[in-house]
Chains A and B, each alone.
Chain A
Amino acid sequence: SQQGEEDPQALSIQEGENATMNCSYKTSINNLQWYRQNSGRGLVHLILIRSNEREKHSGRLRVTLDTSKKSSSLLITASRAADTASYFCATDLDRGSTLGRLYFGRGTQLTVWP
């Protein structure tokens, strides 16, 4: 199935540092979304970037999208221990037959040490 793939699989940093996660996907998209999941809990929507957008900000989050490279990045600035979680990118594909479907990657496990 079509999926985003996050990189790295795991990231470990100190509080105050920035965390960057990347996502690559295979086909044209309608939008790309980032979600956060605390261990064993439900996913929480963080930010959505449309295919015609290149950058988006929300608080300490910055998302970029490069449709020519089929890639996106999520930057968390000034990270905190509470940011420790798994982060997933999800692609909403640009095809009528996939309406209502969202394809997830395997996620990046971020650990922020105090």
Chain B
Amino acid sequence: EAQVTQNPRYLITVTGKKLTVTCSQNMNHEYMSWYRQDPGLGLRQIYYSMNVEVTDKGDVPEGYKVSRKEKRNFPLILESPSPNQTSLYFCASSAGWSRANYGYTFGSGTRLTVV
């Protein structure tokens, strides 16, 4: 089944403890992206990647890192999480050829709480 898989689904952590949220897609998509969703603010893009080793900042990149060493994986790294990073995070992917026709495929989300 074509899908975007995020792990973990839920995570509670303490301030300052480094964490990684994984994202993997099995559709050979070039584009991958991370969003955070907060009440009243909608979805805001954190980072995106147009292909392996090509990443760029979205609208709210502060406090996050990403890497794209393989086409299928796009992990989101929080080096020193803070409470304002408590949010619902989504990974999404799309192929260049299908992006203009079929939109993006989203993962199920990771609910992160930083205490």
Number of interface residues of B (CB under 8 A): 32
| Known contacts A100-B31, A102-B104; A107/B42 CB under 8 A | yes
A88, B44: Cα distance in complex, Å: 12
* A45 and B103 in contact, given A88-B43, A102-B33, A102-B45 (Cβ under 8 angstroms): yes
* B41 & A101 in contact (Cβ 8 Å cutoff): no
CB contact between B100 and one of A1, A31, A40, A90 (< 8 Å): that residue:
A31
For B57-94 the 0/1 string (1 means CB < 8 A from A) is 01100000000000000000000000000001010101
A1 to B43: give the CA distance in the assembly, Å.
11
Contact digits for B30-53, partner A, Cβ 8 Å, 1 yes 0 no: 010101000011111100111000
Count residues on chain A whose CB falls below 8 Å from chain B CBs: 26
Cα A101 to Cα B31 with chains together (Å): 9
Q: How far is the CB of B27 from chain A (nearest CB, A)?
A: 13
Which listed residue, A41, A45, A50, A92, touches B109 by the CB 8 Å rule? A41
- When the two chains form their complex, are residues B101 and A48 in contact, meaning their CB atoms are under 8 A apart? yes
- The reply to whether B100 and A43 form a contact with Cβ atoms under 8 Å apart is no
**B103: contacting residue among A1, A33, A103, A107, CB under 8 A:** A33
Could you tell me which B residues sit within 8 Å of A by CB distance?
A: 4, 31, 33, 35, 40-45, 48-50, 56, 58-59, 88, 90, 92, 94, 99-109, 111
Q: A residues engaging B (CB < 8 A)?
A: 1, 3, 30-31, 33, 35, 40-45, 48, 50, 88, 90, 92, 99-107
